[in-house]
Amino acid sequence: MSLISIVYLLLTVGMILLLMRKKEIILAGAAAILVIGLLYAHSLREAVQVLCRAVTVGFESLLSIFIGMSLIMTMTCALRAAGVDVYLSESLHRLPKNASVSYFIIGILMAVASFMIWPSPAVALLGALILPIAAETGLPPVYIAVALNVFGHGAALSGDFLIQGVPTIAAQGAGLKSGDIMPYLVPLWCVMTAVTVLMSFLMMRRNLKKQPKKQAVPQTRSDAAVQGCSRKQKKLITALVLLAFAADTAAMILLHIGGDDATNLISGTALVLTCIISMIVFRGNARAEKVGDFLVEGFSFTVKGFAPAVIMIGFFSLGSSEFAPQILGENAPACLSETVSFLVTHAKIPGAALALLQSAVGIIYSLDGSGFAGLTVIGSIANSYPVSQEAVRILTALGQIVIIWVGGGTVIPWSVVPVASVCGVKPVELAKKNLLPVMTGIAAASVTAACMIACTA
C-alpha cells in the first residue's frame, strides 16, 4: 500500500469514529482533503485546488438528483400555496395516526415501488405524494426517511428480484449469471432484511417513547399567501396530481423506464404540475411570478440538505479509481482498491470466516457512497478466494447485499441525501438512525453466510 492509501485509510477510520460519536464531520472532511492534497502534490497551493476540485466532483455526482428533488419540493410548495395539503389533511383526519402502522405502510409502499422502478425514482414519486400529507402519518420526518431508506435503498435494491440489474452486475464479476447466485441470495437477503427492519422498528419505538411528538414535516409553505382556492379547485388539483403520477408509474412499468430516466420523468412531471397549479390558483402576471417563487423556495429548501454532503462526497471520491484522477491528477492512486487488494492478498482466513472478510471488503468499497461501483468487482474478489464454486456464489451474494445496504443509500451520509432532502432532515441524522440496525443485519447475514459455507465444505 502507498503512503497516501495508508493515510487515507486512517482518515476514513477517523471520519467513521466521529460519525459514530455523533460529531459533525464537515470541517474534518475539508481538512482531510487538504492533507491528501498535500501528500500528493507537495504544494499548499495545489492542495487548496484539490479541495475545490473535490467539492466540484462531489456536487457533480449529486447534480441530477439535486435538481430532481428540488423540482419535487417546488411542486410541494405550490400545493401548499393552493391549500391542497390542508384539504388532504381534512380528508384523512379519520385515519388512525399510529406511528408503527405508518412506518410499515410507508416502508412497504416504498419497497413495492423500488422493486418495480428502483429507489431513486420511487423516492421522488412517494415524496411528491406523501410529503403534502405527511402530518397525517403520525411519524416524525426522520422516521419517514428511515422507512423510505430501509425498505427502498436497503431491502428492495439489495435483492432487486424483478429488474435483476444488481445481481447481474455482481454475478458477472465472478463469471456467473444472476440465476447462479439467486438460491444463495434469497436466504441471505431474508436474514439481512428481517434483522434490519426489526432493529430499526424497535429503535424507533424506543426513541418515540422518550421524546414528545413532533410535527411530521418542516414547514415549507410558500411565502405567497394562500389563495382563495375553492374546494372544487382543490379537488381538481388533487386529481391532476394523482393521475399524472399514476400515468408516470404506468409508463415506467410498461416501457421499462428506470434509473435516472425514471427520476427525470417524475421530476419533469412535478414541474409541469407546478405550472398548471399556478395557472389554476393565480391570475394574470402573478402566475409566472409565483412559478419563479416556488422554484426559488424549492431549490433553497433542497440545498440545505445537499450542501453539507458535498464535502464528504469529495473526500470519499478521493478513494475511487474513477474520481481520484479528476481530483488529484492522472496518476492518482485508487486508495480503496489498494486497501481491498492488500486485505485480500495478506489476510490468512479459513473458508467459513471469509464471509467476515467479504463483508469488510463490501463496506470498504461502499465508503464513496456509490453502491454500484463496488458491485463490479465484488464477484471477482469472491472468485479469488481458495474456496469451492458454491462458496464463491455465497460470498458474491453476501458482497452484493453488504455493498448495496451500506453504499446504496442507508448508512453513508452522502448517499442518503435524496431521502433526507425530501423529508427535510439532516443526512447525518438519518445515517445515524440507520447505522446500528444495518450493521446488526450485516453481522447476522455474515454469520449466516459463514454457516452456509461451512455446510458446503
Give the Cβ contact number of residue 26 at 10 Å.
15
DSSP one-letter string for 134-155 = GGGG---HHHHHHHHIIIIIII
**Three-state secondary-structure class, residue 195:** helix
| Residues 346 and 388 both lie in one domain | yes
Cα–Cα separations (whole angstroms), residue 357 to 2, 65, 188, 344, 387: 21, 33, 16, 8, 13
Whether 180 is in a domain gets the answer no
Q: Which residues contact 212 (CB under 8 A, 6 or more apart)?
A: none
Q: Which residues contact 111 (CB under 8 A, 6 or more apart)?
A: 151, 152, 155, 156
Select from 81, 102, 147 the least CA-distant residue to 416: 147
| Residues 195 and 84 both lie in one domain | yes
Place of cell 453476501: 398
| Residues 361 and 250 both lie in one domain | no
Whether 270 is in a domain gets the answer yes
Angle between helices 371-384 and 335-346 (to 10 degrees): 20
d(CA 188, CA 448): 7
| Residues 213 and 353 both lie in one domain | no
Domain count, the chain: 3
Cell numbers standing for residue 212: 414528545
Contact 263, 64 (CB under 8 A): yes
**Three-state secondary-structure class, residue 279:** helix
Cα–Cα separations (whole angstroms), residue 53 to 37, 69, 197, 371: 10, 24, 38, 22
| Residues 365 and 219 both lie in one domain | no
Whether 179 is in a domain gets the answer no
| Residues 81 and 50 both lie in one domain | no
Domain final position from 278, 296, 327: 327
Beta strand extents in 175-312 (DSSP E only): none
Whether 177 is in a domain gets the answer no
Please name the residue ranges forming H helices in 92-130: 99-117, 119-130
| Residues 80 and 200 both lie in one domain | yes
Whether 178 is in a domain gets the answer no
Q: Which residues contact 317 (CB under 8 A, 6 or more apart)?
A: 54, 57, 58, 61, 323, 324, 327, 368
Select from 109, 189, 178, 257 the least CA-distant residue to 445: 189
Whether 181 is in a domain gets the answer no
Domain final position from 327, 360, 386: 327
| Residues 270 and 406 both lie in one domain | no
Select from 436, 355, 427 the least CA-distant residue to 142: 427
| Residues 212 and 317 both lie in one domain | no
Contact 365, 408 (CB under 8 A): no
Residue 336 pLDDT = 77
| Residues 225 and 109 both lie in one domain | yes
DSSP 156: I
| Residues 55 and 73 both lie in one domain | no
Angle between helices 84-91 and 44-81 (to 10 degrees): 60
Q: Domain containing 121: what range?
A: 63-171+186-305
Whether 192 is in a domain gets the answer yes
Whether 318 is in a domain gets the answer yes
Cell numbers standing for residue 312: 464528504
Q: Mean pLDDT in runs of 10 for the chain (457 residues)?
A: 86 80 78 92 92 88 82 85 72 66 88 84 75 66 91 92 85 87 95 96 90 50 51 86 87 80 86 92 84 90 77 80 84 81 74 85 78 76 86 93 89 82 84 92 95 86
Q: Which pTM value belongs to this model? A: 0.78
Q: HEC string of 296-350?
A: HHHHHHHHHHHHHHHHHHHHHHCCCCCCHHHHCCCCCCCHHHHHHHHHHHHCCCC
Residue 226 pLDDT = 47
d(CA 134, CA 234): 18
Cα pseudo-dihedral 386, 387, 389, 390, rounded to 10: -160
| Residues 243 and 286 both lie in one domain | yes
Residue 81 pLDDT = 85
Domain final position from 275, 297, 327: 327
Select from 75, 79, 114, 453 the least CA-distant residue to 267: 75
Q: What is the largest CA-CA distance in the chain?
A: 76
Contact 369, 313 (CB under 8 A): yes
Residue 215 pLDDT = 47
